[in-house]
């Protein structure tokens, strides 16, 4: 049996684990809901369960894994294996030694990275960025994360680069829950879009968004619910997605004007679900903001799809061992 490597994408709603062979082919996978009560211990247990299930699916045990890479949605101290802060996961509002806890439960080396960073590097190595020198990955989901790849390296700056979602495109505009005003994420983050939809309903607007949510057995407006509402021509959904597209496009064009990159890669829950038609729509919406509209870079869709976060996380193992 070839060497087996595990990658885990820990999100605010689900934990996705994959086991790959040394050709990066997925040979086992598992998905669990992220526990929302009981704090870190139950999340750690769920991550270990997901890894065990994916290993089982691949026909191996966790202590036979060469290593486990984990992408987590927050600030990460990679060398110490510590999840510093993950606002989207209940109980992770202070530093937690995540790598050590998973290593103890699985008996294999564990490496930690930021979820968007590992997904963007996954696209660089195995996906839509494989032939690109310089690009920005825009991960459109609960929030809007991003990663800037320059000369094929992820740009960190002093450690906190890539916050394109928190750039201002509309001074005096919508506020994020954090208090930041007029940022791209205030318009485009799925959580903020849901807040706007609930406010609109409270103010008397009609929409089938929440009916579709209930039919899907969800408690939140998932990417699938947004897609279904959009396809059904729901006016409120169309309006909010339209505003999100314009916000993403403005911020994307701004970063192109600043860095003149080769391409934009669109990923994340919403980005992957909407796919190339949405990438084309964003490309069109970028035109008025581009300094050189006749040299617009292509807007590509993340090629690794739904499992991209977990596959990207698995690449942490090869980089460290």
Contacting positions for a second copy (CB under 8 A) = 134, 146, 148, 150, 155-164, 166-171, 180-181, 246, 250, 253-255, 257-262, 288-289, 291-292, 295, 297
CA dihedral 247, 16, 309, 305 (to 10 degrees): -80
Smallest distance, Å, CB 116 to a second copy? Answer: 13
Q: In what order do the strands lie in the sheet with 110-114?
A: 26-33, 14-20, 5-10, 67-72, 110-114
Both tokens of 80, joined, read 């110490």
Closest CA to 84 of 101, 68, 72: 72
Angle, vertex CA 136, rays to CA 130 and CA 138, nearest 5: 105
Smallest distance, Å, CB 73 to a second copy? Answer: 16
Of 150 and 303, which CB lies nearer to a second copy in the complex structure?
150
Of 167 and 211, which CB lies nearer to a second copy in the complex structure?
167
DSSP at 288 = G
Both tokens of 8, joined, read 């885990």
Q: Do residues 21 and 311 touch, judged by C-beta distance below 8 A?
A: no
Of 56 and 163, which CB lies nearer to a second copy in the complex structure?
163
Of 172 and 233, which CB lies nearer to a second copy in the complex structure?
172
DSSP at 220 = S
Both tokens of 121, joined, read 């590097």
Of 4 and 166, which CB lies nearer to a second copy in the complex structure?
166
Smallest distance, Å, CB 158 to a second copy? Answer: 5
Angstrom distance (rounded) from CA 199 to CA 240: 12
Of 102 and 286, which CB lies nearer to a second copy in the complex structure?
286
Smallest distance, Å, CB 143 to a second copy? Answer: 12
Smallest distance, Å, CB 145 to a second copy? Answer: 12
Smallest distance, Å, CB 146 to a second copy? Answer: 8
Both tokens of 61, joined, read 């045990």
What are residue 17's DSSP bridge partners?
8, 30
Of 69 and 165, which CB lies nearer to a second copy in the complex structure?
165
Smallest distance, Å, CB 253 to a second copy? Answer: 7
Q: Is 171 strand, coil or helix?
A: coil
């Amino acid at each position: 049996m070839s060497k087996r490597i595990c990658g885990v994408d820990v999100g605010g709603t689900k934990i996705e684990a994959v086991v790959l062979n040394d050709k990066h082919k997925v040979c086992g996978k598992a998905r669990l809901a992220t526990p929302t009560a009981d704090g870190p211990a139950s999340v750690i247990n769920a991550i270990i369960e997901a890894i065990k299930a994916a290993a089982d699916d691949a026909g191996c045990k966790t202590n036979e894994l060469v290593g486990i890479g984990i992408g987590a949605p927050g600030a990460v101290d990679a060398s110490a294996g510590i999840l510093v802060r993950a606002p989207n996961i209940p109980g992770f509002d202070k530093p937690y030694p995540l790598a050590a806890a998973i290593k103890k439960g699985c008996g294999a080396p564990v490496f930690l990275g930021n979820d968007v960073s590992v997904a963007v590097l996954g696209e660089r190595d195995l996906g839509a960025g494989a032939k690109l020198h310089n690009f920005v990955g825009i991960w459109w989901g609960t929030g809007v994360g991003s990663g800037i790849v320059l000369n094929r390296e992820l740009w960190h700056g002093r450690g906190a680069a890539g916050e394109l979602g928190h750039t201002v495109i509309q001074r005096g505009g919508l506020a994020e829950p954090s208090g930041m005003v007029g940022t791209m994420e205030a318009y485009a983050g799925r959580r903020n879009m849901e807040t706007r939809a609930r406010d609109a309903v409270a103010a008397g607007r009609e929409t089938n968004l929440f009916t579709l949510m209930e039919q899907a057995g969800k408690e939140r407006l998932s990417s699938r619910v947004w897609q279904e509402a959009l396809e059904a021509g729901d006016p409120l959904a169309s309006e909010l997605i339209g505003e999100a597209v314009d916000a993403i496009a403005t911020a994307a064009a701004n970063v192109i004007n600043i860095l003149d990159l080769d391409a934009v890669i669109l990923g994340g829950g919403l980005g992957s679900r909407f796919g190339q038609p949405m990438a084309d729509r964003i490309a069109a919406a970028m035109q008025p903001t581009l300094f050189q509209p006749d040299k617009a870079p292509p807007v590509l869709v993340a090629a690794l799809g739904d499992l991209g976060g977990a596959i990207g996380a698995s690449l942490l193992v090869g980089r460290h061992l």
